[in-house]
Amino acid sequence: MNKRVLISGASRGLGLCFAKKYLEDGCMVFAGARNEGAAGLKELKEKYGNLLVPLQLDVADTKSVESAAEAASAYTAHLDVIINNAGIHSETSFLELEDADLDDCLPVYDVNAVGPIRVVKAFLPLLKKGESGLVVNISSESGSIGTAERIKEFDYCMSKAALNMGTKLLHNYLKDMNINVIAVHPGWMRTDMGGQNATQDPFETAGRLTELFEEVREGGNKAVFMDNTGEEYPW
């Protein structure tokens, strides 16, 4: 494979699994995280050495994102794939409307919806220098307006719906630069966010998705919002 991949939110969960999978495949991974010294990344660094470049990256902080892009450019002249995986819930997300603190929504929107756009903006010069680029925004079925049946999680659901719109705007803007942009619903996984009752193993999901991403990069799938099998998902 030998691709150069940037992953945000790479210190745990699906992001860490993406990092591990790409490293196993011989790719160079730029692992962005608020805590780039997290235990999982340290373990991967010890095993894979220079193939892994941890980056201090807070997607809600423009200066942090710009500094991470500058740091990455010291190691590579281009990127092939950007995976915007960083995401959060608010503490009151699962409370019903009467008890939810709607002021908690704003930081979630900042991370989940605006953060990926910040990352693409800062790293676009590196992405443009690759032969064929791919931006993956990790979205969710909770961002689908067409299938929505929930009665709460205003912060998370609305942020993912906004991310989907951001994906479409980026897709429209970058398609003539040989850069594809997609949003993916990865499924319900056993992570800190998904909980231990979830149905999917995150590393198995990461493996399945990396294969899907290659299919998209090679032009074999034209969907913009899709599930983890590559099927188009309702907006």
Residue 190 exposed, middle or buried by CB count within 10 Å (0-12, 13-18, 19+): middle
Q: 154: part of which helix (H) or strand (E)?
A: helix 154-174
Q: Which long-range contacts (CB under 8 A, 24 or more apart) does 93-98 make?
A: 93/152, 93/153, 93/154, 93/155, 93/156, 94/152, 94/153, 95/152, 96/151, 96/152, 97/151, 97/152, 97/154
Look up residue 81 and give its DSSP letter: E
Contact status, residue 32 vs residue 10, Cβ threshold 8 Å: yes
The values of phi and psi at residue 233, to 5°, are: -110, 145
Active site amino acids: 156, 160
Chain centroid to CA 109: 14
Which positions ≥6 away from 207 have C-beta within 8 Å?
A: 21
